[in-house]
Amino acid sequence: MKQFSYIDIFAGCGGLSLGLHNAGWEGLFAIEKSKDAFATLKYNLIEKRKHFCWNEWLPQKEHDINEVIRVYKKELEELAGKVNLVVGGPPCQGFSMAGQRKKNDIRNELSESYIEFISIVKPKMLIFENVQGFTIGFKDEKENKGVPFSKILKEKLECLGYSVEGKMIDISEFGVPQKRNRFIMVGVLEGNPHEFFEILYKNKKKFLEVKGLKEKI
């Protein structure tokens, strides 16, 4: 296992994995429920780039994260403390301000699956990504705003021993031709998660210059 190893959960078609591939990391495996999205990830990052050092016990196909936890819990437990990073964020549709935003959307429960996965694998670091609505509490019948899922997630990760910090990031400041705010949460077992964001902004200008991009897209 390489020094910079990671697992991508709720991987979609592999956007985060592609970024980590370009940064020199090695993927152990990815978990994605959508058959079409996983087929895209598999074509680009497994068949074309040979990016993943795929664990033999997990079939290279689409998977529901809860099924992986249930069927392969023993194998996941054997990875505990050996993985540098877990990345990914549960589906955003139930939280998104652009959609119907339903508190009882069954996909919102996948945040608990994320916590359970982290509690089993115990990576040294984690990066969680979601929409801005994840930081805004749902209102009850009396229009009282509830506790944001971001706060609940932070508290549960801290109970697992992680130091955690989350920030809203405007990704158009980093070369993406789309004004889109994203909630990024970083957790570490050792160190200060604030340093992640310091490094991110410190290197922003140089990164854009290397890519031949303007500071605002």
pLDDT at 34: 94
Judging by beta carbons within 10 Å of its beta carbon (0-12, 13-18, 19+), is residue 51 exposed, middle or buried? buried
DSSP string, 84-99: SEEE-----TTT-TTS
Query: pLDDT (tens digit, 9 = 90+) per residue, 38-53?
Result: 999 999 999 999 999 9
Q: What is the pLDDT of residue 97?
A: 43
- The torsion angles phi and psi of 72, rounded to 5 degrees, stand at -115, 30
Which pTM value belongs to this model? 0.86
Active centre residues (catalytic): 92
Task: Count Cβ atoms below 10 Å from residue 39 Cβ, excluding itself.
Answer: 14
- Other CB atoms within a 10 A radius of the CB of residue 199 amount to 10
Say how many C-beta atoms besides its own lie within 10 A of residue 83's C-beta. 19
- Judging by DSSP bridges, how do beta strands 26-31 and 125-131 pair with one another? unpaired
- Share the mean pLDDT of the chain: 86
Residue 28: partners with Cβ closer than 8 Å, 6 or more residues away: 1, 5, 6, 7, 52, 53, 54, 55, 79, 83
Local confidence band at 2 (pLDDT 50, 70, 90 cut-offs): low
**Number of neighbours of residue 181 by Cβ within 10 angstroms:** 14
Over residues 153-204, the pLDDT tens digits come to 899 999 999 999 999 999 899 988 888 888 999 999 999 999 999 999 999 9
* Structural tokens at position 81: 């403390």
pLDDT of 106 strictly over 60: no
Looking at residue 178, what is its pLDDT?
84
User: Tell me, what's the pLDDT at 138?
Assistant: 52
Name all contacts of 175-179 with Cβ < 8 Å and 24+ positions apart: 175/207, 175/208, 175/211, 175/213, 175/217, 176/217, 177/217, 178/217
